[in-house]
Each structure stands twice: as C-alpha cells, then as structure tokens.
Amino acid sequence: MKEEVRKILEKHRYKIVGNHSAVKLCHWLRESLRRKRSCYKSKFYGIATHRCLQMTPSVAWCQHRCLFCWRPVEYTLGEKIDVPLDEPEFIVENSIRSQRELLSGYWGDARVSKKEMEEAYNPKHVAISLAGEPTNYPYIEELIEAYHKRGFTSFLVSNGMNPEKIAKVKPSQLYLSLIGYDEKSYLKICRPIIKDGWKRFLESLEIFGTRKLRRVIRITLVKGYNLEHAKKFAKLIEIASPTFIETKGYVHVGFSRLRLKRENMPTFQEVFKFAKILEEETGYKIKDKCEESKVVLLER
C-alpha cells in the first residue's frame, strides 16, 4: 500500500500484515488483561475477550467514508484492493503472529496473569472488522474457513457493498451495518465513494434476510443524524430479519473528531430510548445492555 497510509496506520498502532491486512489490539482486550473488564461481546455472546483477534484483510479499502468512523477514512484507497493479494493461510498465520508481537509487552505487567497471557497468545475468536470493508478481499470465504480450521469462531462485520459476498460468506456470526434509514440519510452519514451504494445495500439486506446463520443488524447512532428516527428503521429491519439487533451509540474518538462534534455523541439513555422504540415497532425485545459501551441488544 502507499507508504503514507502505512505510516499513518502504524503510528496508530496497527500492525500491517502482508500487503493489505492489519491487526490491532482491541481496547477491551487490554482492559480484560489488565483490569478484568470484558467487552459487550463477552456479555452478549459469551466470547473470551482476552482471546479475541481484531483484524481486517482490507485495511485501507472501503466504499464508505463514514462520518462516525474512528479510522482515517480520508486515506481510503478505493474499493478494489490494488496491491498483490495475499493467500488466506498467510493472513491467518501472520495475523496470529502479529497479535502475539503486539501483546508481548504485557508479559511484564504485574496486573496480567501468566495464565491469561498464555491464553491470549492463542486466540480463539476473530473479529474481522478492524478497518476497511472485509468483503473487498476476494478470498474472504476462504479466509473465514482458514480461521475455522484452526478452531476459531468468527465475527464478520460488513457494510453490504458486496451483495454477492453476503450471499456466500459463512462466519459464526454475520453483522450488517445499518446506518441510514433511507437513501438521503445513507448518503449524508456514510459518504459513499461509489454511485450505487444504496442500491447495493438494499440488495444485501434482502440476501441477509435469507441466510441460515446467526445474523446481527448493527445500528450506530449519531445524534443529529439518525438517532431521532427510530421508527424509520423498522421496515428495513423487517427485511433483514436478523437474529439480533445491536443499537450502539457513536463515540467521539479517533479521526471522527475531525468530522463530528462531541454533541453528536448520544448518552446511553438516548440509545436505550431508541431501542425501546424499535421494540415497539418491530416485535424484537430488549435482551441485554452494556452501559459502558452504550449498546443495547434486542432479540426476536
């Protein structure tokens, strides 16, 4: 990738893997090791936070430049990965190696137990969601399969810009990010670099609703943009027919601070109110919540 982009990512503690992938330690992995505080995925779905590998096979390639994204989307290199493609097995092997390198300093931290460090060195969950759009990697199905062969469970988060991949991928849990409640709000918040983004998303939404696996609709809520329109999401959720819905509040961190104000960050109470309206409109019921992460889980 471009040297300028590589330097920016490395400055922000991304470990570049091969030509187009990356690993970064999740905030909650560090919190789990040092302070025994687990992430909401642990609370909702039972994962071991300190054994989760956060990665992406397309760190700088995405169809969106979302306002709320904490990543440096201004340096997005486009939709197609235009560097030599690495093989899935290479990415898996070196993502694990990179995770261990990033973790190595924690061996000397008195707050971290040796047992949990040994477990962290052998991750068993992969969150394919770090940056970019993972399904832009042409071999995403094979990548997921390669992780599964090593005993991993997988969480794949997609923006729905590649409907043909939404139809084929088989992660343990498939996420589809639902940000805009109509085309106008989608264009305003997601700022696509392609012309047919909303059309692609609607196609993915239809396909998503037919998949026979665990599926999650994630709605990132930005005050002044989509937080105030809970009822307008109901029809789209009906099409998606997800297993779960996560309503999650935008957090004013990272590069998003260049695009949004702190006032755009909703409180947990506002996120919960949004979830309550969805509950009334969709038939899904609030199952759990995590105030620290400002996220509410709904289930049919």
When the pLDDT of each residue in the chain is averaged and rounded to a whole number, the result is 94
The amino acid at residue 289 is K
* Kind plus residue range of the DSSP H or E element containing 296: strand 295-299
In this prediction, the residues of the chain whose per-residue pLDDT falls under 50 are none
Domain count, the chain: 1
Question: Could you write out the DSSP letters of every residue in 154-191?
Answer: EEEEE-SS-HHHHTT---SEEEEE---SSHHHHHHHH-
Report the b/e string of 3-12 with b at 16+ CB within 10 A.
eebbebbeee
Tell me what pLDDT residue 3 has. 85
pLDDT digits (tens, 9 = 90+) for 243-280: 999 999 999 988 889 899 999 999 999 999 999 999 99
Residue range of the domain that includes 18: 3-299
pLDDT for 130 equals 87
| 30-64 pLDDT, tens digit each | 988 998 888 999 999 989 999 999 999 999 999 99
pTM over 0.95: no
CATH number at residue 10: 3.20.20.70
Q: Report the candidate in 215, 206, 225, 224 with the shortest Cα–Cα distance to residue 246.
A: 215
Q: Tell me, what amino acid is at 134?
A: P
